[in-house]
Structure 1
Amino acid sequence: MSTPEVCVRTSAKRTRELFADSFASPQALEQPTNSIFEFQAPTTSPLDISAQIGVSSRIRNQYHDVRELPPALAAKMATAATTTVERRQKIRKANTDEKASDVKMQKMIEGATDRADQARSARQSMALTVREGKGPAPNANGPTPMRDTPSSALVRKDVFRQPKPQWHAPWKLMRVISGHSGWVRSLCLSPENDWFASGGGDRCVKIWDLASGTLRLTLTGHISSVRGVAVSDRHPYMYTCGEDKKVLGWDLECNKVTHTYHGHLSGVYTIDLHPTMNYLATGGRDAVCRLWDLRTKSNVMVLSGHRGTLTSVKMQPADPQVITSSMDSTVRLWDIRAGKTLTTLTHHKKSVRGLACHPNEWTFATASTNSIKQFKLPAGELMETFQEPSGVVNTISVNEDNVTFAGQDDGSMIFYDWKTGHAFQRSETIAQPGSLSAENGIFCSTFDRSSIRLLTGEADKTIKVWGPDLDADEESHPLDWKPTLGRRKF
């Protein structure tokens, strides 16, 4: 015989010698024992213990989920008619009067029910209790561990701490570029960040050198005010739109119009290019956004739904690929595959005049009179409400350093921190000498590709270049911010 078999036989023999007196026969199982089950009373036999465990297990498996009614149903039953209550009491009394056929089984069932009630009452409760002594309250250090469970009890809310805004250097005027004979209504930077284009009320599109501010070229082709300019990042083309219902495509190599897009029924106020596809989006007074194929010049889609003039349109590489703002005080996120609206944002009360997308984050901001709000894509959830401006906001821009600029119709300039909506600088633009005091409105703005220069087009027929103060630091220009006690109401 092998060694494992010898060990097994030896172990079985010793086991029988140890437990034969207590468990080898049914009569032995019925006798109480204290050697094995130390937690039981001395009068409980192993057979009774096994039966009690079996009954408790069956009761829990079959009736655990229906022991208590749901809160809504229990409240409904509590407020039921008197006749219903009486009928239910009779049924409950009849069920109580019923006895099990085996008295021993009845006692086991009652014991299992009592133990379950005791265990449930011993759990941690969320109800308000009278606190005795001078010890701290149960939720003195924050919410209780069961804060996420449905309950109507009063608990301490999480401590709300306002995030501290990031410090930004103050911005100051660096250069004034004069050359237009009308209001400057649109600006756009080149992909190489060495020149920019501007369009104004003098029906001209001008190309400027960004470093020196000198005029490189003047393009004529519109017969009314130029309201939008867009420069392609992938092709040597520039696209403009104006109040003359025209959308023109310019070849920057030969400096002439090569494409004309016909379809708008009124003035075109905004234009933007798709970053990856050959699509052009335009919008204006006819309250629709039109998508154009750059090569075939055909109108591939008309996005209708707004009830007012479109003030701004932005295109993105991912859904929603088109975002539009309108004077009907709404912002729409579009699905260009189906040609319909994904989401309509109605958070503003007045005309939405400004729209800006963050260059690095999947967020965007909209501006209207006395209101600037930040949203999260792709669903358009409201994230932040900026400190209220004091007038009509015409334009809004944001750079990679989380500096947000808002230009108002009365010449006021506000610089915000993108993360918190804190206005760290408020100032007034400087009107060109010789112009009227009323001609200090800001119509358009854009940051350059390096995020260290801000260009604004204004009503005094000038383009102003702003930059951060390089000599400023946190000690010389401390952050003027004080946290408030309450949550900000959106």
Structure 2
Amino acid sequence: MADTKELSNPETSLFDNSSERAKIIFGESYGLEPAFCKNSKRIKIASKINSEYKTAYKSLNFKEKIENTTTKPIFSSASTTDDLFKDTDKIINTLNGKQSKVSKRKADKPTTTSEGQLILRNGNIQNNPYFDAPPAGQQLVRKRNYEPPKPEWHAPWKLIKVLSGHMGWVRSLSVDPGNKWFASGSVDRTIKIWDLASGSLRLTLTGHISPVRGLEVSPRHPYLFSCGEDKMVKCWDLEQNKVIRHYHGHLSGIYSLSLHPVLDLLVTAGRDATARVWDIRTKQAVHVLSGHKSTIASVKCQEADPQVITGSMDSTIRLWDLAAGKTMATLTHHKKSVRALALHPTEFGFISGSAGSIKQWRCPKGDLVQNFAGHNSIVNTLSVNSDNVVFSGADNGTMRFWDWKTGHCFQDTETQIVPGSLDSEAGIFASTFDKTGLRLITGEADKSIKIYKEDENATPESHPIVWKPSLKQNKY
């Protein structure tokens, strides 16, 4: 018999070790108490309590008040192991008692799933002393009630006028600060001045020897600035209707320009992957903003930092510190060439457009706010008015109108090409709102300029908002 007992002891020990190991691995899944060594577990809990509840130790009254108001560690080095375990057991028992009381009070009023509560999954936790949870079907945590904001109602826009006169694509537009006339630049190398009210042609300016890609009328001077693919930046005196200044320095075609709203500075950008800051009066280059790796298709200026924003065909947007002439931030969210930028007239933010993607950003850091999803074409131009209407025009003639706040597309339409034009000439290259924001002007590939305005007869009842709330907002 003694031999049998001696043989069975190793087998029993092996079985106990195996069962203990299985209990450690799978016990919690079946609501069993974890099979850890008691002493090691108590030491572990004691160390955690010592670090977590050191500041609250006095208020829990687990030890007598310290004499002479001197502080010392909760578990000093002089404390014995037995004292440490006694204190730990007191803390554990007290905390478990308080938690059970709280959980019982919370479980007095059961709630249903219809009230938007998070329901405990089915599981065998009744026998688990380390999980003091309310019975199944009762609340654990209140869910966050997220309701997407409903878009503001905007009237649909309709075509009211078509202006013809250019002999090539219309690539740039700019409205007079007095809102009486606007200028257009074309591939036919001319700049035309149009009456905004009647649509009649007032004046044609010639001087560029390549397509005119950028125009802007100064709000503080009687000047019109233009740039083109001939590497030339010109300043036109509108009182004399002639060029009074040239700005030389770009190494290739210039695709965009923008005037600083407060300072006498002009920023131009183009195919040489640089943006150049010019002093309007002295014609000197103040800064050469380099960092992009490809053509800069659009540049915008504003009064507050970042005072210069550039969008490039290297699929990045850069925010520039104008005083230092250095990059403040580089936005890499776009996957394709950034061809268009537009500043909001009243809010401190802007939007950018590339192929199949329109993104809204918040200044000054360039935080991504939201995506305007759905315009699956190459977006050539963007415009925003003070009524929070965003316009996007693409190379295939598609036009979309959006709500700035929510990114909701409230109108999806296509341009109407001039009779006699090819279907391939249904492209939109430039756009701008007038100073009131009530009229939209577009420059197109069919050599025409089109003017749109809101439908005055439209009402929220006749043109209701077609919108479904969505919790999914892609930010990429």
CA distance in 1, matches of 2:358, 2:198: 33
> Structure 1 residues 239 and 137 mapped into 2: Cα distance closer, same or farther (>3 Å)?
same
1:175 to 124, 142, 161: 161
CA distance in 2, matches of 1:138, 1:176: 59
CA distance in 1, matches of 2:235, 2:471: 54
1:229 to 215, 221, 234: 215
Which residue in 2 is equivalent to 1:332?
A: 318
Query: Residues 290-439 of structure 1 correspond to what in structure 2 (within 5 A)?
Result: 290-439=276-425
Structure number with greater Rg is 1
Letter in 2 for 1:385: N
Per-residue CA deviations over 1:413-458 (Å, capped at 9, x if unaligned) read: 0001001111110001000111111111000000011010000000
> Structure 1 residues 466 and 121 mapped into 2: Cα distance closer, same or farther (>3 Å)?
same
Bigger drift between 432-441 and 464-473 goes to 432-441
Please state how far the C-alpha of 1:286 moved relative to its aligned partner.
Answer: 0.1
CA distance in 2, matches of 1:199, 1:369: 24
1:163 to 139, 142, 149: 149
2:191 pairs with 1:205: yes
Please state how far the C-alpha of 1:475 moved relative to its aligned partner.
Answer: 0.4
CA distance in 2, matches of 1:379, 1:248: 33
Shift >3 Å, 4+ stretches: 55-59, 61-64, 112-125, 131-134, 137-144, 153-157, 485-490
SS for the counterpart of 1:54 is: coil
2:65 to 54, 63, 78: 54
CA distance in 1, matches of 2:103, 2:143: 15
Which residue in 1 is equivalent to 2:110?
A: 135
Which residue in 2 is equivalent to 1:481?
A: 467
2:370–2:475: 8 Å Cα contact kept in structure 1? no
2:357–2:372: 8 Å Cα contact kept in structure 1? yes
1:139–1:156: 8 Å Cα contact kept in structure 2? no
Which residue in 2 is equivalent to 1:450?
A: 436
RMSD over equivalenced CA pairs, Å: 3.2
2:80 pairs with 1:95: yes
CA distance in 2, matches of 1:220, 1:392: 30
> Structure 1 residues 446 and 143 mapped into 2: Cα distance closer, same or farther (>3 Å)?
farther
> Structure 1 residues 243 and 98 mapped into 2: Cα distance closer, same or farther (>3 Å)?
closer
TM-score, normalised relative to structure 2? 0.77
Letter in 2 for 1:54: K
CA distance in 2, matches of 1:485, 1:303: 40
Per-residue CA deviations over 1:177-218 (Å, capped at 9, x if unaligned) read: 111111000000111011001100110011110000011111
CA distance in 2, matches of 1:143, 1:249: 66
CA distance in 2, matches of 1:405, 1:462: 18
1:261–1:297: 8 Å Cα contact kept in structure 2? yes
CA distance in 2, matches of 1:139, 1:481: 25
SS for the counterpart of 1:338 is: coil
Query: Residues 279-290 of structure 1 correspond to what in structure 2 (within 5 A)?
Result: 279-290=265-276
Letter in 1 for 2:80: N
Letter in 2 for 1:95: T
TM-score, normalised relative to structure 1? 0.74
> Structure 1 residues 467 and 262 mapped into 2: Cα distance closer, same or farther (>3 Å)?
same
> Structure 1 residues 132 and 439 mapped into 2: Cα distance closer, same or farther (>3 Å)?
same
> Structure 1 residues 489 and 308 mapped into 2: Cα distance closer, same or farther (>3 Å)?
closer
> Structure 1 residues 155 and 270 mapped into 2: Cα distance closer, same or farther (>3 Å)?
same
> Structure 1 residues 476 and 297 mapped into 2: Cα distance closer, same or farther (>3 Å)?
same
CA distance in 1, matches of 2:466, 2:246: 51
Per-residue CA deviations over 1:236-256 (Å, capped at 9, x if unaligned) read: 111000000000000111110
CA distance in 1, matches of 2:439, 2:141: 50
Which residue in 2 is equivalent to 1:8?
A: none
> Structure 1 residues 335 and 116 mapped into 2: Cα distance closer, same or farther (>3 Å)?
same
> Structure 1 residues 487 and 443 mapped into 2: Cα distance closer, same or farther (>3 Å)?
closer
SS for the counterpart of 1:233 is: coil
Per-residue CA deviations over 1:324-381 (Å, capped at 9, x if unaligned) read: 0000000000012221111000011000111001000001000001100001000001
Query: Residues 44-123 of structure 1 correspond to what in structure 2 (within 5 A)?
Result: 54-55=65-66, 62-63=72-73, 95-96=80-81, 117=92, 120-121=95-96
Unaligned runs of 5+ in 1: 1-49, 68-90, 100-108, 145-152
2:116–2:143: 8 Å Cα contact kept in structure 1? no
Per-residue CA deviations over 1:54-78 (Å, capped at 9, x if unaligned) read: 239969x5446x89xxxxxxxxxxx
Unaligned runs of 5+ in 2: 1-60, 120-132, 134-139
1:463 to 444, 449, 452: 449
CA distance in 1, matches of 2:103, 2:165: 73
CA distance in 2, matches of 1:128, 1:465: 67
CA distance in 1, matches of 2:103, 2:190: 73
1:186–1:227: 8 Å Cα contact kept in structure 2? yes
Letter in 2 for 1:159: N
CA distance in 2, matches of 1:472, 1:174: 15
2:231–2:253: 8 Å Cα contact kept in structure 1? yes
SS for the counterpart of 1:438 is: helix
Per-residue CA deviations over 1:298-330 (Å, capped at 9, x if unaligned) read: 111000000110111001111000000000000
Equivalent residue pairs, number: 395
CA distance in 1, matches of 2:168, 2:403: 32
Letter in 1 for 2:339: R
Please state how far the C-alpha of 1:220 moved relative to its aligned partner.
Answer: 0.6
> Structure 1 residues 483 and 219 mapped into 2: Cα distance closer, same or farther (>3 Å)?
same
1:142–1:158: 8 Å Cα contact kept in structure 2? no
Letter in 1 for 2:213: R
Letter in 2 for 1:407: G
